[in-house]
Structure 1
Amino acid sequence: MLASLEWLKQYVDINISVAELCDKITRVGLEVDTVTQLGKGLEGVITGKVMEIHRHPDSDHLWVCMLDYGQGGEPVQILTGAQNVHQYDIVPVAVVGSVLPPSERNPQGLKLKKAKMRGLDSFGMLCSADELGIESKLLLPEQRNGIFILPENTPIGVDIKTVLGLDDTVIDIDLTSNRADCFSIIGLAREISAITGCPLKMPAMDVKEAAAGKASDYVNVKIDAPELCSRFATRVLKDIKIMPSPEWMQRRLRACGVRPISNVVDVTNYVMLELGQPMHAYDADKVAGHTLIVRRAEEGEKLVTLDGRERELTSAMITIGDAEKAAGLGGVMGGLLTEVTDETKNVILEAASFHGPSIRRTSRALGLRSEASGRFERGVDTIRDHDALNRAAHLLEQMGACETFSGIVEAYPEELKPAVITTTAAKINGRIGVNIAEDEMVAILSKLGFGVEAKDGELLITAPTWRRDIDCDADISEEIARMHGYDFIESHQPELTITQGSQSVLDDVKDDVQDYMVGAGLSEMMTYSFIKANAYDKMLLPADDARRNCIELLNPITDAFSVMRTTMVPSALQTASFNLRNHNSSVALFEIGRIFLPKALPLTEDPAERQLLTAVLSGSRKALNWCDDKGSVDFYDMKGIVEGLLEAMQVSDYTMTRSQQPYLHPGKSCDIVVNGEVIGSFGEVHPVVQENFELDQVTYVLEMAVEPLVASATAVPQYKHLPKFPSMSRDIAVVVPAEVTNAELEQVIRAHAGELLQGVRVFDIYTGKQVAAGCKSMAFNLTYQAADRTLTDAEVDASMKKVIAEVAEAYKAKLRD
């Protein structure tokens, strides 16, 4: 359980040091695992506003920014290579003298000095989230790369630790399975209140209920499996506005290890962390019949959960269904079909109490664990489901994000009663082995929220609803013993802190790329990060190519390893050449390695390091065999590997354009473009380069950046239903000028064929007697399909007519008979 100290202080005054607080918590049975200072190693970084930005006169990738960071005087000049910074952006600024913590880019940390980059001074650095020490998993994909852009209302000149909550302390408490009551901020604050004697302050839960009408008019709930769900309560929100949650909420969520997404999702997560009650939000307009039913899943029933995966359920699993279908997996994860999206207008909020053992078995069977399932497995406070709903509605109303219908709609088949235990002070003392006065026992239990009545020498104790683990006088004895102090009973065992190892998201993606390349039939090679200085000449790089700005080694091993590489192509070609010279006539190799890009020469700071994938193919497509094709690899073998890799990394929005790389054959090469950025190139090695590297047969090479794959590779896959209705296809053959490319024609076809077009494929290219000189015939197959009906010939014919007209107009194309 991760707990933000700043969040805890909102509900209980903590006037002791963190070390003393952790000691007191541990002594009462809540073992503190680790204490983390979020901003440790980060000093002097403040917020600044980009007043001006323009290109560096001597660089095609550097920007010159003029920063105002609230210190008075003229704006300060700072240079950056990031491409996501714009005028008037508010950004974290590390000024001269600032200290950055260790990060992926700067593993040893960094103290900022004045730098000179391509002849211009830079008096600081704009910081990314990684450089501020924020884990990428706690950020949206668009925040993980480039400079961390702050909200436009962020004040400037303020310590970034204050703005981003990095001045907070996070306490990681290792809870035992029976202490579900402490699996929340309020639960921990209640425990701290009992320890320190400071009063507990509960969060605001008042709801305006300004929407006209009653919630019961908009939603019905029912429990068909009361043995699996003791209570199911809902509130209905009207005219919801999906937007980012407030920065203070995002800070607290990140501190507790939860990635902010949107206000509705963030509020449900926030309330779960704050009150210990998991919640779920449904798009009310996607809930069939506006009815939610808690039932057992049908054997073999299918449900697509929010992570995009289709799950096959069993009758032992709890399902939340609407009038037509399964809408969620109770206590574990919601369903994709009723997910809250940017188009959502009305929301049903759910707070329920599910059977812990059933949730545990479901999670294990499906290999699906969540923050919600972990809490339900331990048990939640059934009596306080309304508090969670009211708190969530209150927070969203505060944001101006919705109006709330009056009332709570719920199913509560059997009201649960708190446990009542009868015992005596003598029995408790006998079990503990000490002599504690009855008055002290009553005081201890009262501070913990127990109801205590002393009568006729006995103690009649009512356990609070959040303490479901209390059901006998032995449990009462334990409560009194831990609060009285185990030190006064017997010595406790030493605290053992275990640190779990992990690797970065980028390393996970590298492992996936490596697995794919091996599966595609390539063998991994490992080369030095140093190359020979003349490698760039052999690659035919122009004199002004940025890759020629490489770092020279002061004491190289040999002349063959005299500079740090800025591209991995020479290493790949040199390895292929070595194999071919040693009678290995078929080469299929790859490597994931680093290149080193200096910001300025001579070096004034560590160079930027980028992870690249390189691959090289040459020779026979298959091992020599009498029954197999003896053909050699060609351009399309490499293209297939690239396309397969991009698909495996979930990159779908990419294009391939003719490459201008000087080391590649101008007619047999491509650049890979993702989101407008060229992330790699591949193709046949230029004949001159092939000769320069002593390659005695045609060779194909790939070089691609790995970092741009991270966002898509780590995204949750989204399920799409298979089509129910048949497709229709049409062929079209047009005669166009020879210089017109397939991509250009395909772009026109896709732009004007309409939303029914599902695919375009070129299946024939012809030049000959039947086609005029300087022209060629290109034949395309167009596939049409609708998700809700069978198409008619008239619909497809209308689209084809428009396509033919637009192609004719754009490229003077003529239909070929």
Structure 2
Amino acid sequence: MQVSIKWLHDYIDFNETSDELADKLTMAGIPVENVVHAGEGLEKVVTGKVESIERHPDSDHMFITQMNVGQPELVQVVTGAQNVKQGDIVPVAMIGAKLPNGLKISKGKLRGVPSNGMLCSADELKMDLTTLTDEQKDGIYILPADTEIGIPAKDALGLDDDILEFELTANRGDCFSVFGLVREIAVLTGNTPKWPEIKANEDDEASTADMIKIGIEANDLCSRFSARVLKNVKIMESPEWMQVRLENAGIRAINNIVDVTNFVMVELGQPMHAYDYDQIAGKSLTARRAVAGENLHTLDDSSRIAKGEELVIADSEKPAGLAGIMGGLESEVTENTTTVVLEAAAFNGASIRRTARSCGLRSEASGRFERGVDETQTMRALDRAAQLLQDMGACTVTKGIVDVYPVEKEPVSVDFTPEQINKRLGTDIPAEMMVKILESLDFKCEADGKGGYHVSVPSWRNDVTFMEDLSEEVARIYGFDNIQSTTPEGTMVQGVQSPLQDFIDHIKITLTHIGLSEELSFSFSNFDVLDKMLIPADSPLRNAIPLMNPFVEEAQLVRTSLLASVIENAVRNLSRKNEDIRLYDVAPVFYPKSLPLTELPDEVVKVAGFMCGRRNPVGWNTGDDMIDFYDAKGVVEELLARRNITRYTVEAGEYTAMHPGKTALFKKGKDIIAAVGELHPQVAENFGITKKAYIFEMDVATLMKYSSAKFNFDVLPKYPAVFRDLAILVDKDVNASDIEKTIIGNGGKYFKRAVLFDLYTGKQIDAGKKSVAFTMLFQSNDKTLTDEEVDESFNKIVAAVEKKFDAELRK
């Protein structure tokens, strides 16, 4: 937002310089980013008329001009410009001038001919080229033919002004207008605004309501829609004063209709749009959602395909414009336009922001709608635009305004007590001063008889809804520099990590120590990844939270599976020829209690890993063995051991994205504390993984549940251990873990452990059978065991195994 000091002076008198005013506004919470002194560097640049021009005798591209600069004698200036002719009035930099681009003008000769100045281009004068036509940008800047000769060029160019460039916060939408800034200046300087009388003379017999019908179908996106019709329209240039005001606001002048809508937008803060009445099909305009696939052809001559979420203003056949952002090309006001429909509306800011971002199309209007406009002044804005055009003799105004306002905005009221505000600010401001400050800002204060006040908030202050907002208003006008700085008081507490954070750190340390690399990923996913993971349609993992405004197409959902993130990162590594991968991640996934969200989702921290490639680094003394299932299983076992999680069982099972025949589940009771397995072949194919890969996943809360901080230590045994081997034949579908449980349960008091050391199937074994062999350790802390004592336990184990599994001892 930028505005000129002259424009502000149109509505309020003040004695402060531009820099002083900028300081006052900034200290009051209306930050001025920069003050541009438009005429700086043009002190010795004047307007001059080319009285004569002739070619330079020693140059085929230079000219000798005799310039009338308002002095008794003509001034000779040599120029290389090709667009200057006799009679033109141009800016002339006199001897001693120092132009804004740093160029110093001195007396000299060009190819032997004296030159006493320089004819200036727009670029040399540091004019805003974005507001100029192509002809004005190239060569010497040609001034209007009626420009007075010999006056300062900055006066002729409208540069005898200062520009305030604001960096306004998003909550102060009211200050994105001249009127809003004038209200602030009136409070800060104590001066009274000179508001213009806004009244349109309805001098045409036609009725607006008979000529145009308007409506609102998307009530949640458009709260008010108003329109006025202008007849006998004359398209012409705007008055010079209006063009200068707009150019100093950074807006290029186009024609009187468009310029007036832009002028009112900057003046009142209400964006407007003008339609060619004859190009409106059905003579109706409706604020509705776009239909998916509908063509949106805007004024920049770009066509966009609607997604179905955009708000459009449509006639009876097609969209006539992107609401609040840009009008449609078909209904554009042209030099052939004779009847104009002026529209002013109030649109939902979030909707305008989403549409502007998705279309990559931002405008002055969209910026104001995004921050919020005062929906009570649409009719006032229409009257102001009609009034300005009438003053130019450019139209007649039909009777009445068509206004659709389904639910009128309720006035906002806030209650406060002086004690509340003083406590919050750390001040002792009298109640009378608070009331005076608020009323100077057009807040209406009424005492409630109990020491407090009931405050009515003006319609343009959409940012004030709580007592805290009122306290900020009091503070900024009272003066932040008048509020004493104090050191905050409070009890100092040393920050520490939570037990969960400590536990996660230990997990990361363990996995890193055993050779895995931590990856980092965004907490987002998409439906395509869920499909690749073969997640069933009825799985809770598909109950993911959709993002309203995803920053990339691949981030449509909040993730429910950490494995998906790890696999995607592994694929990214594999695509870059990093084929020996050991990745892990410890991060949250999110499970909503219901959709759409009504409360925060459950945040569950998971551990996931991915392993593939060589077991050892490439080297002359290492083999070519590849990582297999037992490497991944070993990682899980080591992690559990480091966290003192013991007495778990391992059994075959099924788990997300894992091979159903090559998956192990680590269990404690009914809880799955870990799952490890080979990546499902179809999942691998879906992600483009062509080699064997192994994955694991654990729930951190479950690991914490069974983790023990206490470790039990036994003294080293004094007496020797006794080993017995047990080799048996069992059915192929018998799990070794079940046999191990039976051995442990029947081992007796001297039994210490059993280890599976052999598994065999082959020609010497009957079909459907397998041979498993365990070595068992027996030991006493009190004595050396005899064979008879060990045999008693061993025989008991053999009998139990034979009975339960129909096992047969191998000879």
| Bin of the TM-score, shorter chain as denominator length | 0.5 to 0.7
1:379 to 372, 388, 395: 372
CA distance in 2, matches of 1:193, 1:247: 28
Match of 2:293, SS? coil
Tell me the residue number matched to 1:92.
91
Rate the CA distance shift 1:403–1:81 in 2: closer, same or farther, 3 A. Answer: farther
The answer (yes or no) to whether the contact 2:79–2:118 under 8 Å persists in 1 is: yes
Task: Note the C-alpha offset of 1:57.
Answer: 4.5
2:205 to 212, 224, 235: 212
Task: Note the C-alpha offset of 1:58.
Answer: 4.4
Tell me the residue number matched to 2:474.
480
CA distance in 2, matches of 1:239, 1:115: 57
CA distance in 2, matches of 1:368, 1:101: 33
Task: Tell me the alpha carbon deviations over residues 522-554 of structure 1, each in whole angstroms, 9 at most, x when there is no partner.
Answer: xxxxxxxxxxxxxxxxxxxxxxxxxxxxxxxxx
CA distance in 1, matches of 2:486, 2:153: 41
Tell me the residue number matched to 1:76.
75
Tell me the residue number matched to 2:3.
3
The answer (yes or no) to whether the contact 2:349–2:370 under 8 Å persists in 1 is: yes
Task: Tell me the alpha carbon deviations over residues 169-213 of structure 1, each in whole angstroms, 9 at most, x when there is no partner.
Answer: 112222111111111111111011111111122234222232332
The answer on 1:135 being equivalent to 2:120 is no
Tell me the residue number matched to 1:15.
15
CA distance in 1, matches of 2:64, 2:395: 43
CA distance in 1, matches of 2:237, 2:486: 46
CA distance in 1, matches of 2:94, 2:131: 25
CA distance in 1, matches of 2:413, 2:368: 24
Tell me the residue number matched to 1:795.
none
Tell me the residue number matched to 1:416.
409
The answer on 1:146 being equivalent to 2:134 is no
Letter in 1 for 2:215: K
The answer (yes or no) to whether the contact 1:48–1:67 under 8 Å persists in 2 is: yes
1:465 to 454, 459, 466: 459
Rate the CA distance shift 1:226–1:291 in 2: closer, same or farther, 3 A. Answer: same
The answer (yes or no) to whether the contact 1:140–1:260 under 8 Å persists in 2 is: no
Runs of 5+ consecutive residues of structure 1 not aligned to the other structure: 103-108, 494-817
The answer on 1:32 being equivalent to 2:32 is yes
- How many residues align? The count is 486
Tell me the residue number matched to 1:199.
192
Task: Note the C-alpha offset of 1:295.
Answer: 0.6
CA distance in 2, matches of 1:410, 1:86: 54
Tell me the residue number matched to 1:676.
none
Task: Tell me the alpha carbon deviations over residues 755-784 of structure 1, each in whole angstroms, 9 at most, x when there is no partner.
Answer: xxxxxxxxxxxxxxxxxxxxxxxxxxxxxx
Tell me the residue number matched to 1:48.
48
Letter in 2 for 1:38: A
Summarize the alignment of residues 588-667 of structure 1 with structure 2, pairs less than 5 Å apart. Answer: none
Letter in 1 for 2:76: Q
The answer (yes or no) to whether the contact 2:414–2:467 under 8 Å persists in 1 is: yes
CA distance in 2, matches of 1:332, 1:9: 30
The answer on 1:181 being equivalent to 2:181 is no
CA distance in 2, matches of 1:399, 1:67: 35
Task: Note the C-alpha offset of 1:6.
Answer: 1.6
Rate the CA distance shift 1:241–1:177 in 2: closer, same or farther, 3 A. Answer: same
Summarize the alignment of residues 253-292 of structure 1 with structure 2, pairs less than 5 Å apart. Answer: 253-292=246-285
Tell me the residue number matched to 1:401.
394
CA distance in 1, matches of 2:231, 2:89: 34
Rate the CA distance shift 1:151–1:309 in 2: closer, same or farther, 3 A. Answer: same
Letter in 2 for 1:242: I
CA distance in 2, matches of 1:62, 1:405: 57
Task: Note the C-alpha offset of 1:369.
Answer: 1.0
Tell me the residue number matched to 1:551.
none
Tell me the residue number matched to 2:776.
none
The answer (yes or no) to whether the contact 2:233–2:338 under 8 Å persists in 1 is: yes
2:320 to 311, 314, 327: 327
The answer on 1:431 being equivalent to 2:424 is yes
Tell me the residue number matched to 1:299.
292
TM-score if structure 1 supplies the norm length? 0.57
The answer (yes or no) to whether the contact 1:56–1:63 under 8 Å persists in 2 is: yes
Summarize the alignment of residues 163-182 of structure 1 with structure 2, pairs less than 5 Å apart. Answer: 163-182=156-175
CA distance in 1, matches of 2:202, 2:273: 20
Match of 1:336, SS? coil
The answer (yes or no) to whether the contact 1:47–1:92 under 8 Å persists in 2 is: yes
Task: Note the C-alpha offset of 1:375.
Answer: 0.5
The answer on 1:239 being equivalent to 2:232 is yes
The answer (yes or no) to whether the contact 1:233–1:385 under 8 Å persists in 2 is: yes
Structure exhibiting the larger radius of gyration computed from Cα positions: 2
CA distance in 2, matches of 1:208, 1:492: 58
Higher RCO by CA contacts (8 Å cutoff, separation 6 or greater)? 1
CA distance in 1, matches of 2:158, 2:445: 41
Rate the CA distance shift 1:74–1:238 in 2: closer, same or farther, 3 A. Answer: farther
Match of 2:98, SS? strand
Tell me the residue number matched to 1:722.
none
Task: Note the C-alpha offset of 1:148.
Answer: 1.1
Letter in 2 for 1:409: V
Task: Note the C-alpha offset of 1:322.
Answer: 0.8
The answer (yes or no) to whether the contact 2:229–2:339 under 8 Å persists in 1 is: yes
Match of 1:338, SS? coil
CA distance in 2, matches of 1:217, 1:388: 21
Tell me the residue number matched to 2:308.
315
Task: Note the C-alpha offset of 1:258.
Answer: 1.7
Task: Note the C-alpha offset of 1:51.
Answer: 2.8
Letter in 2 for 1:11: Y
Letter in 1 for 2:8: L
Letter in 2 for 1:427: Q
Task: Note the C-alpha offset of 1:388.
Answer: 1.6
The answer (yes or no) to whether the contact 1:101–1:133 under 8 Å persists in 2 is: yes
CA distance in 2, matches of 1:464, 1:492: 33
The answer (yes or no) to whether the contact 2:42–2:153 under 8 Å persists in 1 is: no
CA distance in 2, matches of 1:151, 1:218: 40
CA RMSD of aligned residues (A): 1.9
Task: Tell me the alpha carbon deviations over residues 508-534 of structure 1, each in whole angstroms, 9 at most, x when there is no partner.
Answer: xxxxxxxxxxxxxxxxxxxxxxxxxxx
The answer (yes or no) to whether the contact 1:204–1:394 under 8 Å persists in 2 is: no
CA distance in 1, matches of 2:380, 2:139: 41
Letter in 2 for 1:53: I
Letter in 2 for 1:43: E
Runs of 4+ deviating beyond 4 Å: 490-493
The answer (yes or no) to whether the contact 1:39–1:133 under 8 Å persists in 2 is: no
Tell me the residue number matched to 1:701.
none
Tell me the residue number matched to 2:348.
355
Tell me the residue number matched to 2:449.
456
Summarize the alignment of residues 119-134 of structure 1 with structure 2, pairs less than 5 Å apart. Answer: 119-134=112-127
Task: Note the C-alpha offset of 1:460.
Answer: 1.4
Letter in 2 for 1:210: D
The answer (yes or no) to whether the contact 1:127–1:147 under 8 Å persists in 2 is: yes
Match of 2:95, SS? strand
Rate the CA distance shift 1:120–1:416 in 2: closer, same or farther, 3 A. Answer: same
Summarize the alignment of residues 712-727 of structure 1 with structure 2, pairs less than 5 Å apart. Answer: none
CA distance in 2, matches of 1:448, 1:211: 39
CA distance in 1, matches of 2:107, 2:389: 46
Task: Tell me the alpha carbon deviations over residues 112-137 of structure 1, each in whole angstroms, 9 at most, x when there is no partner.
Answer: 22343344333322211111111321
CA distance in 2, matches of 1:397, 1:370: 27
The answer (yes or no) to whether the contact 2:42–2:100 under 8 Å persists in 1 is: yes
Give the share of equivalent positions with the same residue, in percent. 52
The answer (yes or no) to whether the contact 1:298–1:313 under 8 Å persists in 2 is: yes
Rate the CA distance shift 1:82–1:239 in 2: closer, same or farther, 3 A. Answer: farther
Letter in 2 for 1:460: H
CA distance in 2, matches of 1:69, 1:78: 11
Match of 1:280, SS? strand
Task: Tell me the alpha carbon deviations over residues 710-741 of structure 1, each in whole angstroms, 9 at most, x when there is no partner.
Answer: xxxxxxxxxxxxxxxxxxxxxxxxxxxxxxxx
